[in-house]
Every structure is written in C-alpha cells, then in structure tokens.
Amino acid sequence: MDDNTPDGMDDNPPADRAHETPGRRAVAEGPKDLKFRLLAQELRQQVRAGVWPVGGRLPTEKQLALGSGSSVSTVRRAVDELIAEGLVVRRQGSGTFVLAPDAPRTARALIGVLVPDTTFYYPQVLQGIEEGLSAAGARLLLTCSGYDQEREARDVADLLDGGADGLLLVPTFNGPEHRESYLARIAALPVPAVLIERRGTSLGDTSEYVCTHHEAGAYDAVRHLAALGHRSIGLVLRAPAPTAPPLIEGYRQAAAELGCATTEFEATRQEWSPATADRALAALRAGGATAAVCFGDRQAALLEGAARRAGLTVPDDLALVAYDDEIADLADIPLTAVAPPKHLLGRTAAETLLRRLREPGSARHRILLRPSITVRQSCGARPT
C-alpha cells in the first residue's frame, strides 16, 4: 500500500498477450496454427449466423473440443481470437457469451494495469480489477514496477505501445520526481487513466482515482479504542509513505474530538526491527498511552514482541489496532486491524475506467472507500 513495500515483481505477461499485441506471429504457421484458425473461422460463421443468439452462451471449451474433434487448447485459441475481434466475451465463472454487433468499445477494450507489487496488498486489488474487466468483456495487460519511478515510465510506454485503451495505475510517489509533476505527466497521457490508492494534494490535479479513505480508517480505529475506555492513544508509523499523512490526519481529528491524549512515533520501513519497536514502546509509555494504532501489521506485531520483553501484556497493558490486515491474524496475539476494501478498490477502479471510455465527456470521479475494522484479540474487545 505504500511505496516502501518490498518488491514482489511478476513480469510474466497474461496468457493471451499474443492476441493483444498483433504482428508478433511467426511468418510460417504449422498445422496446429492452421487448425485453430479453421476452427475460429467456423465458430465465427456460427456466431454471425445466429447459431447462438446475442447474449447466449457458447458451449464449454470441452464441449466444443468434443464436437469439433479438436483439443481444448486449440478451442481456447480459437475462442480467444473471437474475443479479440469483439464477437464474444468470456465472463469469469459464467462462460463465453455472444456480443451484439454494436457492442460498446469497452466490450473489447484492452486495459493496461500497473501495480508496484504482486505479492503484498495488491493481489486482492488485482482480483477485483480482473472481475470488473471480465464482466464487461475487457482484457487486461499487467505489469509490475517494483516501486521504481523510472521503470514505471518505461512500463507505461510499453502498455501504450501494446495498444492499451486505458490505464489503471498505482504510481510511485516516493522517488526523484515530485508527486504533482508525476500526476501532471499521467494526466497528459493519450489514453484515460484511473489511479488506485494514490491521489494528489493540489487542487490543480485533475486525476480520477479510487482510494481507501485512510483518514476515516485511522479515525475509526481511534474511536474503537476510545469506546473500550482508552483515553491516551498512540500512533505508530512507518514512513515516508503515501498512506502516512492521511492516517495522521484521521488520528489527530478523532483524538481531538474525543479529548484523547496523543503520542506519535515514526520510523522508516528500513529501520523497523525489534530494537525500533522497543523505542516505540518506550515513547508510548512515556506518553502514558494505553493503546496504539500501528501502520502496518508488521510494526504492530513487532510492538507486541516489545511489550512481551518489557513484561507487559497485550491487550491488558497495551491494546493494539494494526492497519492493513494483510498478516494481522498471524501475529502471536491476533491483531485487530483496519482492513482496506482491496477487492472492491480494484473492481470499482475498473468500472470507473470503463465508464470513462464509454462516456469520455462525463464528470470525473474521485472515489474514497471507507475501510472496516476486523476485531481480534489485541484490543481486548470480543470478536463478533
């Protein structure tokens, strides 16, 4: 969720990329290529003849294979050809359906997706994106930047060269280029782009985005702890990160409204270790804190260890709420955690971009999704 998360790169292109970047086929085609093309032509003629009505579902790939005497892989290649032509659409979990001849552009759009990591936080986001695009018949071309601004620029250029009609981007702001300059460059791209979990701070920024309302997440975490009787609540952060400023804002607003005493501790991701957690605990105790909101799960788990070394118990001596809910349930004492709606983020971002492609002149959307709190043992509240 922030630009300091370890790299989890996956540069393997989607399985159907050959159909998304035409012109890369070998000059000579073998018997297998000829067979799939003949089958694609047969299916194309059947679709146009109305063998399956508009909106109707084609037989399964296995059924088509049995009926045509072809292998399932040959059938899949033939169906992929029809999908690329906008004749049919594959809907995840439902099957392949015939599109109307005048189906909207989004039914065959190619959407470029750039994320910084494919192993932490973003897998659920990607699932939501895939679901949203699949429901509309659009295709996905994925790349992973590894939190590297220069690489991101090359990746975006590659997505555009690959024919992307629109982009879903998680840009890296923690780099040599200033955030607002970076956003201005994205706004100048020749295709529409929707940001995910990133937004500008200037009123001059015109970007469309879908983000977690992190201010509200921190606000709700403080209110949750206050409702349990805590009047001195700390905030423990890893920074710099795009998520940190909104978390600070929500934390401070809730504390001010509720009249809670505050203590803030911050260290970089690289600094975080058991020794850093000991320093964080010392700062919280010096401030009289009996509870803390921790960004993120790892920092909260390290703080649990620091409390144990100091002879304190969680949650009796120190109640904790983590932020992210990626590995919070794996801590020695399972962590209550603020959970961003990752899957919904991805699906909403995909739908927002597809709407932009359908209605290029419509008002720009800036969507904030409020996270939820998953209650576990670390705050002392009874899980529901």
Which residues have C-beta within 8 Å of that of residue 126, sequence separation ≥ 6? 113, 115, 118, 142, 346
pLDDT score of 384: 66
- What local confidence, expressed as pLDDT, does residue 100 receive? 77
CATH of 105-212+344-365, one of 3.40.50.300, 3.20.20.370, 3.40.50.2300, 3.30.2350.10: 3.40.50.2300
Chain-centre distance for alpha carbon 120: 10
- pTM of the predicted model, to two decimals? 0.74
Three-state DSSP class for residue 378: helix
Question: Pick from 128, 135, 63, 69: which is nearest to 97 by CA?
Answer: 135
Q: What is the pLDDT of residue 228?
A: 97
Q: Are 239 and 174 in contact (CB under 8 A)?
A: no
What was the pLDDT predicted at 109? 86
Instruction: State the chain's mean pLDDT as an integer.
Output: 88
Q: List, run by run, the mean pLDDT of 10-residue segments along the chain (384 residues).
A: 40 35 36 77 89 90 91 90 81 80 68 94 95 87 93 93 93 88 92 95 90 98 98 95 94 98 96 97 98 97 97 97 96 97 97 91 93 96 76
Compute the distance between CA of residue 134 and CA of residue 128 in angstroms, rounded to an integer.
Answer: 10
At residue 134, the pLDDT reads 85
Q: Is 77 helix (H, G, I), strand (E, B) or coil?
A: helix
Helix (H, G, I), strand (E, B) or coil at 8: coil
Q: What's the length of the chain?
A: 384
Angstrom distance (rounded) from CA 165 to CA 191: 6
Return the CATH number of the domain spanning residue range 214-340+373-379: 3.40.50.2300
Nearest to 198 by CA among 166, 169, 155, 237: 169
Dihedral angle at the C-alpha atoms of 347, 353, 356, 358, nearest 10 degrees? -70
The topology (CATH level 3) of 20-98 is: Arc Repressor Mutant, subunit A (1.10.10)
Please report the pLDDT score of residue 22 as a whole number.
32
- The distance of Cα 166 from the centroid of its chain, to the nearest Å, equals 16
* Per-residue confidence (pLDDT) for residue 199, from 0 to 100: 92
3-class secondary structure, 240: coil
What is the DSSP code string of 325-342?
-SSGGGSSSPPEEEE--H
Return the number of other C-beta atoms located less than 10 Å from residue 221's C-beta.
31
Where, residue-wise, is CATH 3.40.50.2300 in the chain?
105-212+344-365, 214-340+373-379
**Alpha-helix runs per DSSP H in the chain:** 17-20, 31-49, 61-68, 72-84, 122-136, 149-161, 179-187, 214-227, 244-258, 274-286, 297-309, 342-358
Q: Where in the chain is the domain with CATH 1.10.10.10?
A: 20-98
- Number of Cβ within 10 Å of residue 30's Cβ equals 8
